[in-house]
């Protein structure tokens, strides 16, 4: 198979011009770059299709290698339709941009500029921690203290045991506070409300007051 040098040169020029136009800020130039690159791709597919041959219609007495490959032709037709759709879409964007601002240049976003100029180092996330702020004991604390450096009873030989003991003490305190509140409520119900909503004094206090 011989390669057509002319198609390769034209294809290279179209690719170079298309890539250059795609880097511009003008939407019109971007559209021209898309069209040029689409034509360059079509030429690439055509150059890779092989030598021309007969129409791909089965005929008696014709060898298979004498037919032309229909697949590249179908791919080129599909690429033409896609390029046409992209061109129509870009024309709509260009018209809208021109109608709003009388120009088709792509503007920089202020937030993107601020992010691009921001310092990569963050004082909160990247600063070195002077001390260990985790509630779990470090390896040095575990080696130096029986309870893992948590300040608990030495009988708790591991940080997990110390945390379990602390949780048990907290639950006991909550149960004691609940029992005390329940006793106060039962005492108030037993005494009952007095006149005007106040609790009535005890019988002994009444007798002492009359005497």
Q: Please, are residues 163 and 150 in contact by the beta-carbon 8 Å criterion?
A: yes
Q: What is the pLDDT of residue 140?
A: 62
Q: In this structure, is the dihedral angle defined by the CA atoms of residues 151, 155, 161 and 166, taken in order, positive or negative?
A: negative
**Per-residue pLDDT at 33:** 94
Nearest to 33 by CA among 43, 24, 44: 24
Please list the pLDDT of the chain residue by residue as tens digits (211 residues). Answer: 567 788 889 999 999 999 999 988 888 999 999 999 999 999 888 888 777 777 777 777 777 777 778 888 889 999 999 999 999 999 999 998 888 888 888 777 777 777 777 766 666 666 666 655 555 655 665 555 544 445 544 555 555 666 677 778 888 888 888 888 888 888 888 876 655 544 444 544 444 444 4
Cα atoms found within 13 Å of the Cα of residue 189, Cβ hemisphere only? 6
Specify the pLDDT at position 147: 47
3-state SS class at 199:
strand
**Per-residue model confidence (pLDDT) at position 32:** 94
Do residues 35 and 48 lie in contact, with contact meaning Cβ atoms separated by under 8 Å? no
Nearest to 83 by CA among 12, 120, 130, 34: 34
Which of 123, 104, 96 lies closest to 32, judged by CA? 104
Q: Looking at residue 15, what is its pLDDT? A: 93
pLDDT of residue 105: 81
pTM over 0.75: no
Q: pLDDT at position 197, please? A: 47
Q: What is the pLDDT of residue 39?
A: 92
Rg of the chain over all Cα atoms, to the nearest angstrom: 43
pLDDT at 149: 47
Distance CA 186, CA 78 (A): 86
């Amino acid at each position: 198979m011989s390669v057509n040098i002319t198609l390769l040169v034209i294809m290279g020029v179209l690719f170079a011009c298309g890539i250059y136009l795609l880097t511009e800020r003008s939407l019109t130039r971007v559209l021209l770059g898309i069209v040029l690159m689409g034509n360059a791709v079509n030429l690439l597919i055509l150059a890779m299709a092989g030598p021309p041959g007969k129409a791909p219609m089965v005929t008696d007495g014709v060898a298979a290698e004498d037919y032309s490959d229909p697949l590249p032709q179908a791919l080129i037709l599909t690429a033409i339709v896609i390029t046409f759709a992209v061109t129509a879409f870009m024309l709509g964007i260009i018209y809208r941009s021109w109608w709003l601002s009388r120009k088709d240049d792509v503007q920089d976003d202020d937030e993107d500029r601020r992010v691009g100029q921001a310092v990569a180092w963050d004082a909160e996330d990247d600063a070195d921690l002077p001390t260990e702020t985790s509630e779990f004991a470090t390896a040095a604390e575990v080696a130096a203290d029986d309870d893992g450096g948590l300040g608990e009873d030495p009988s708790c030989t591991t940080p997990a045991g110390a945390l379990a003991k602390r949780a048990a003490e907290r639950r006991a305190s909550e149960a004691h506070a609940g029992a005390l509140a329940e006793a106060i409520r039962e005492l108030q119900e037993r005494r009952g409300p007095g006149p005007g909503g106040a609790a009535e004094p005890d019988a002994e206090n009444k007798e002492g007051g009359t005497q």
